[in-house]
Structure 1
Amino acid sequence: MLARSAEAALPMEALSALLAPASVAVIGASGDAARIGGRPIAAMLARGFQGRILPVNPNRPTVQGLPAFASIADLPEVPDVAIIAVPANVAEVTMTELAERGVKAAIMFSAGFAEMGDAGAAAEARMLETARRSGMRLLGPNCLGLFNARTNFFGTFTSSLERGYPTPGPIGIASQSGAYGMHLFGMAREHGIGISCCVTTGNEADLNVGDMIGWMAQDPGTEVIAAYSEGIRDSRSFLAALELARRNRKPVVMMKVGRSAVGSAAARSHTASIAGDDAVTDAVLAEFGVVRARTTEELLDIARLATKRIYPVGNTLGVLTISGGAGVLTSDAAEAVGLPMPAMPEAAQAELRAVLPFCAPQNPVDCTAQALNDLSLVGRFATALVEQGGYSSILAFFTHTGGAASVAPRLRQELGAVRAAHPDRLFVLSILANPDQIRTFEEEGFAVFEDPSRGVAALHAMGRFGEAFAAPAPAAPPEVPAVALPERTPSEAEAKRLLAQAGIEAAPECACATAEEAVAAAQGFGFPVVMKILSPDILHKSEIGGVLLNVADAQGVREGFALLKQRAAEAAPQARIEGVLVAKQLSGGVECILGVHRDPVFGPVAMFGLGGIFVEVLKDVAFRRCPFGEDVAETMIRSIRGAPLLLGARGRPPADIKALARMLSRLSVFAHQAGPSLAGIDLNPVFAMPEGQGAFAADAVIDIAEDDA
């Protein structure tokens, strides 16, 4: 793929010809509205597209009542966009002819390119080169196209339009998969959710999901962005688009598939994409405040609630219910996603008991079925939740009662008055009602979910958006001297020397070529010491017995030196042996692991976790793109589940978090500056000493990429 800057992908004018054209040519236009070349024309005619439609068909004078043209050269004007609906073997020539006419953008339905193998990929590359030379932007190939609901431009052959056209609304859809993108649109339409536009990107030879997110982030008619991706092809435009969306306070909710090994393989074969590491994807999306949806239903739930444009910071949930069981279920759902449900203040609880002695006023607040006899209780309890409980999100569970004709109007009146008095709060109802009743509730500002757990997940997402929008800019990464890496993977001693240049400290140690040198070094450090075989060819020393702990005296050092040399000779006879590393044995610290690996999509990514079982079995680690400052590093450290072990749990002295964050931040800058020759770094273990005593790497591996990596 040809290099391009992220900034070049984002300006509105660069994509307006594609998404909001004044004229469109359809190459391979058909008079049959059911054929691929006929569907876009039929849809635009049916919906009253105000631009000019220019069918190209050498065999017909008219197409669907419109004058047709025999060739691209015969077009009476240069269209803003061309829809290419011809077989793959004709598509290359078509692209050349469009480029010669100066067409600004093309939508290629045609399949049979990179998704089919090397020959198809080569043809796709040639078409891209043609587009680049002329300044044309290409959507596809192998895509289902797009529609703009506000202008009634339908550059798509999706059959989903047979079930109904979109209702214009504030949610934009950007999807790599054509069928799935239109599936999202279809589900949105069935649930009455308004869509501004839907774009499917297919093989992404040129334009990608990131470009579409970037356009929607600047589009005045799009307030919420729903995205689906199988693999990120251009991380620069993707990250630039996410940052732009966050800056413009436009929530992005995303399905990124390929979590499993099977899913990743399917993504590659389907769209020739690199799925990347899923844990890294999670970290990158979280960095930009993107909420990752697990299901299609959840994606649409979050997008729908986000159109309320209420994104609380420090989100808390108050629950009003007529069912104790539903209150427990809702509480479980809130705990599962991490949405706090603090108890009502004691004074408020006392007031509610005075009104209804047998209520349960803690939170969830159960006003019981007595509310059916006196619906004013609903308003009083809801007011207490908002004004005395101070919750930013309110979920009210009224099941089928909320949809009963004898109850719904008064319930809407009581809750509506509270909502109107507090327009900065989110109100979700969990009721069972007919579509007309639900529509009435939603027109008055409520979001309605049959399942309260779905409502909890959507409310939690609003708080995550709010935190992202309100977050201050992170501190700049520290200044770290650039360090030249060797051509081959260095030994542990050399790795630590290189890291020391970046200010990353190791435990005191000495590389020793003889047993007597080892004894002298050990005596200098003070016993006990650690001894390790020193070889650039033996990176995982413990696997061959190449590490000795608690060496307590000079005789032990001599014997250990001989033993390590013997084990290395037996386990790796071809390895280069530089001697033995003798190091001061640290005690009293918490073992951690710091690392970096080069993600194929996002570049160097830093990792932090506790050592031993926490990283090996529990996978309790945090990731972040490099580089970053000490504030981000400290947030990573505090985010893991095992963080209390560093913070002084069970009477332990707190570890030196500041020193640990400084080391992690400097490591991130070291990795970023190292460039693509760096495959990875492992510092394991790192001893986080008690507060004020620093952090020291006891082992270090710097892995240099092979020439053909």
Structure 2
Amino acid sequence: MQVAEREAPIPGVRIAAKEHDVAASPGIARSSNFDRLFSPRGIALVGASAASAGVSGQPLRYLTEFGYPGRVYPVNPKYPEMKGLPCYPDVASVPDPCDLALIMVGARHVPGVIDQCGARGIPFAIVLSAGFQEIGEAGAPNQQALETAIARNDVRIVGPNCIGLLNLNEHMHAGFGGAMSNPNLRPGRLAMVTQSGGYGMGMVTAADQQGVGFSYVVSTGNETDITATEFIRYLLEREDTDAVVAYLEGSTDGRGLLEIGRRALELEKPVLMWKVGNSRSGRRAATSHTGRLTAGPELFRRALDQGGYIEIGDTDDVVDLAQFLRYRKRAKGDRVVILTLSGGAGVLIADLCEQHGLEVPDTSAETLAKLKPISPELGSLGNPVDLTPQGYGDNFASYNRVIETVLAAPEFDQAIVRSAPGPIAAVWADGFIEVANRSDKPVLLQWGSGSEGNPAAIAKVEASGIPSFLSPRRSLNALGAMHRFRMKAQRFRDRAGERSGRPVARQQLDLGASGGALGEHASKMVLARYGIPAVAERLIAEHEIDSVRADSLAFPLAVKIESPDVAHKTEAGAIRLNITDLAGFRLAAREVIAAARAYRPHARIHGVLAQQMATGTEVIVGAVDDPYFGPTVMFGLGGILTEILHDVTHRFAPFDLAAAHDMLAEIKGAALLRGYRGSAPLDVDALADALVRVSLLISDHSERIKEIDINPLFVRAAGHGVAAADALIVLHEIERT
């Protein structure tokens, strides 16, 4: 075995193999219990070096000097000892206990080391080495050999091409570079999973400088074996972690992200998601950077919105949210009282509250009566409560009495307090902390102008655990994000026992043995199996056109081609509307068939549809088996509102009626469904039911159904239901063996 020469990983660069690319050999179960990875009793440093400045030397120094309590085993056949420790010639010689191997050898030697770990019974390995698929064609042989070695061994692998792992609760710095080199990093209750090792370690350093610590940090590298979603799922379940920070460039496991989002809501532990690669150029850069295609930003954001995620975009967001995560008081509602010594600051804070969905209610008459005797004469006692600079008097005793009074008022759930400006805040801080701690309601402090020059007062408040901020905007961004997360979690819990059952059992469908599109009539027959109604219509074969009777048709009607090869009838000119008599029908039928054949000369023509002209409000309902997130349903108003304004919303299938009604409320044109300016309200209950049924159809049969398009679906007045006027189902192509 050779020690890695300057084959250092490239921070953040990775090519992620899909999970099925690394399949264990028969009888090997891939463990998802990472306890011994994050808290190993002993670590073998394979390819260790006594040159402490290098990549292969840093881990030995950090693990022996920073307080890691486990055993450390340097492995390098060139040396009998290293830094006073026995140095072993190979992995087989390493004594017990050993739960983790840190691999720092040349890429071509890594598969052999993994074989040694498997034979030795070491369950985990972190591969710091680079030179695999991330370097392109030159690394392909190494990548293939690595995947083969992983598949034949019961060893879970982090990386390759990563910078390692931190467990700050146990002073375990198992990696190199950046924050790894700081022995004084404070431990905390945030965990981090990062696809960019360099940027992730930069976040650790920046957060530490602002008083925020982490419990565990893992750089995932190429994710050839263990993925970011596996790590997020594991860390979310740990009792010593309040939240997980995730820095992702992309993921092949959209369904895993959905599952994590649901679990985060159940636990009321947020995942702070920093997703990069959202712009077109960013996605292009992420693809070239990671070799991983990314889901479109719209669906990714929808996954965050529906799950227990808080979207972040800066290290400051992590620092700010950490204050609320460690603050144990919880508001029972969204009613905020604002207290200030400056009217302008109060107006700004009130605006920010409403932008974040927080209510700023009026002060009640009962509370006003209690405030007047203890407030300055010029103060304004509505909400915001503004005591003006007169509140500076008597060492702010009156200000603190006012704070205590409003915290006791039943019309408020939480308080935002603006401090006195500058150095005089130190006089006020002790009394404020005492008042805030006596209340069971949460209090947020915003420091007045110039308070940054008063570190003693800031330190006192930080030590008390009360969230405090120099920036009103940052404080409300964090408060609003936590409020929305907790409201999502509350709704999720409330609905857990109320989720409605399926309105229709799973149906057995004969979808044939080929892919491609079904015709409109065939598509509607599939919809009908799931109870989704369609406009009345009749399929008439080409040879029946001249023999059809007028009394068998419901005029006025639309005449449309029925062909699986002509999906866009308008574009093909294969549709005629408002046909009022039999002669008109026969002419229209011949015209649409001729148009279809001109448009697609080899199209399969199954006849024409004679469809009753429909009335109602047009909406569009679609579904797709998304390659990342799986079955997904889309809803929007029809016509130009969908095409020009893109007024649509999405849900991941299957879902229940409550979620369907949420979809209806989310679009910008929701007022049109409820009845607007004298128009009758539409049958939103029937529409929600149809959305649920589409979600069941796509989720029950996603292995065959690729897309569903109902456009338009006509929604009639309340009590009169919905009906599909056009429909298209596209099937997955079946791979031939």
Of the structure 1 ranges 495-504 and 607-616, higher mean CA displacement relative to structure 2 is found in 607-616
Query: Which range is displaced more, 440-449 or 543-552?
Result: 543-552
Once the 2 structures are TM-superposed, how far is the Cα of residue 681 of structure 1 from its aligned partner?
1.0
Structure-1 residue corresponding to 2:86:
67
Q: Identity, % of aligned pairs?
A: 33
Q: Which moved more, 1:111-120 or 1:164-173?
A: 111-120
User: Is the CA contact 1:113–1:121 (under 8 Å) kept in the aligned structure 2?
Assistant: yes
Question: Is 2:56 the counterpart of 1:37?
Answer: yes
* Structure 2 counterpart SS, 1:649: coil
Q: Could you say if the C-alpha distance between residues 152 and 392 of structure 1 is closer, same or farther in structure 2, counting changes exceeding 3 Å?
A: same
Deviates more, 1:477-486 or 1:102-111: 477-486
Shift of 1:147: 0.6
- Normalised TM-score (structure 1): 0.91
Distance 1:10 1:175, change over 3 A: farther
TM-score (norm 2): 0.88
Indicate yes or no: 2:136 matched with 1:117.
yes
Give the 5 Å matches for 1:285-296.
285-296=304-315
Is 1:427 matched with 2:454? no
Structure-2 residue corresponding to 1:480: 506
Select which of 259, 267, 271 maps to 2:286: 267
- 1:184-583 to structure 2, matched below 5 A, reads 184-235=203-254, 237-312=256-331, 314-345=333-364, 348=367, 355-356=375-376, 358-373=378-393, 375-388=396-409, 390-398=411-419, 401-402=420-421, 404-410=422-428, 412-431=429-448, 432-433=451-452, 434-470=454-490, 471=492, 472-473=495-496, 474-478=499-503, 479-486=505-512, 487=514, 488-514=516-542, 517=545, 526-583=554-611
The question of whether the paired residues in 1 share the 8 Å contact of 2:178 and 2:202 is answered with no
1:21 aligns with 2:25: no
Asked if 1:145 is matched to 2:164, the reply is yes
564-573 or 689-698, which deviates more: 564-573
Deviation at 1:598, TM superposition (A): 1.9
> Do the aligned residues in 1 keep the contact of 2:91 with 2:116 (CA within 8 Å)?
yes
Question: How many Å apart are 1:97 and its aligned residue?
Answer: 1.7
> Does the Cα contact within 8 Å between 2:210 and 2:319 map onto a contact in 1?
no
CA positional deviation for 1:343: 3.7
Contact 2:545 / 2:589 at 8 angstroms: preserved in 1? Answer: no
In the alignment, structure 1 segments of 5+ residues that lack a partner are none
SS at match of 1:458: helix
In structure 1, C-alpha distance between the alignment counterparts of 2:98 and 2:606, rounded to whole Å: 69
Q: Secondary structure at the match of 2:517?
A: coil
Distance 1:346 1:569 in 2: 77
- By how many angstroms is 1:89 displaced? 1.9
**Cα shift readout 1:256-295 (whole Å, capped 9, x = no counterpart):** 2221222222222222323112222222233322112233
Residues 681 and 703 of structure 1 are in contact (CA less than 8 Å); yes or no, is this contact kept in structure 2?
yes
Structure 1 pair 218–633 and aligned structure 2 pair: CA distance change class (3 A)? same
Q: Distance in 2 between matches of 1:524 and 1:505?
A: 21
Instruction: Name stretches of at least 5 consecutive residues in structure 2 with no aligned partner.
Output: 1-17
Measured on the aligned residues, the alpha-carbon RMSD in Å equals 2.8
Could you tell me whether the CA contact under 8 Å between 1:10 and 1:241 is conserved in 2?
A: no
- The change in CA–CA distance for 1:292 and 1:341 in structure 2 (over 3 A counts) is same
SS state of the match for residue 171, structure 1? strand
Q: Contact 1:519–1:554 at 8 Å: present in 2 too?
A: no
1:541-566 superposed Cα distances (whole Å, 9 cap, x missing partner): 22233333333444543443344334
From the superposition, tell whether residues 71 and 61 of structure 1 become closer, same or farther in structure 2 (CA, over 3 Å): same
- Residue 511 of structure 1 aligns to a residue whose secondary structure is strand
Alignment of 1:603-642 (within 5 A): 603-642=630-669
Q: Distance in 2 between matches of 1:331 and 1:482?
A: 56
The one-letter amino acid paired with 1:294 is G
Query: Equivalent of 2:150, from 111, 118, 131?
Result: 131
**Does 1:656 pair with 2:677?**
no
Which is worse superposed, 140-149 or 56-65? 56-65
- In structure 2, the CA distance between the partners of 1:629 and 1:127, relative to structure 1 (3 Å rule), is same
In 1, are the aligned partners of 2:572 and 2:595 still within 8 Å (CA)?
yes
TM-fit CA distance, 1:148: 0.4
CA distance in 2, matches of 1:583, 1:290: 46
1:334-353 per-residue CA deviation (whole Å, 9 max, x = no partner) reads 34433333343455457657
Counterpart AA for 2:500: A
- Partners of 2:306 and 2:259 lie apart in 1 by 12
Q: Give the secondary structure class of the aligned counterpart of 2:424.
A: coil
- Residue 690 to residue 358, structure 1, CA distance change in 2 (3 Å): farther
Letter aligned with residue 655 of structure 1: L
Amino acid paired to 1:159: G
Q: Aligned partner of 1:138: which letter? A: I
Q: How many residues matched?
A: 700
Change (3 A) 1:206 1:236: farther
Q: Distance in 2 between matches of 1:591 and 1:522?
A: 29
Give a deviation string over 1:176-199, Cα, whole Å, max 9, x none: 221122122111111110211111
Give the secondary-structure state (helix, strand or coil) at the position aligned to 1:165: coil
Could you tell me how far apart the structure 2 residues matched to 1:320 and 1:394 are?
Answer: 7
Measure the CA separation in 1 of the matches of 2:328 and 2:627: 35
Contact 1:372-1:407 within 8 A present in 2 as well = no
Separation (CA, whole Å) in 1 of partners of 2:140 and 2:626 = 23
Query: CA shift at 1:53, angstroms?
Result: 0.7
After superposition, the C-alpha distances for 1:590-638 in whole angstroms (9 at most, x for unaligned) are 2211111122211111111211233222222221211122222222222
**1: CA distance between counterparts of 2:225 and 2:501?**
32
Aligned to 2:108, which of 83, 86, 89?
89
1:688 is aligned to 2:705? no
Aligned counterpart for 1:672 among listed residues 699, 708, 727? 699
Q: Distance in 1 between matches of 2:546 and 2:462?
A: 77
Shift of 1:389: 6.4
The answer (yes or no) to whether the contact 2:619–2:715 under 8 Å persists in 1 is yes
Find the counterpart in structure 2 of residue 51 from structure 1. 70
Query: Which amino acid is the alignment partner of residue 135 of structure 1?
Result: D
Q: Give 1:405's aligned amino acid.
A: P
Q: Is the 8 A contact 2:261 2:306 kept in 1?
A: no
2:637 partner amino acid: L
- Alignment partner of 1:407: what SS? helix
Q: Secondary structure at the match of 2:619?
A: strand
Deviation at 1:524? 5.3
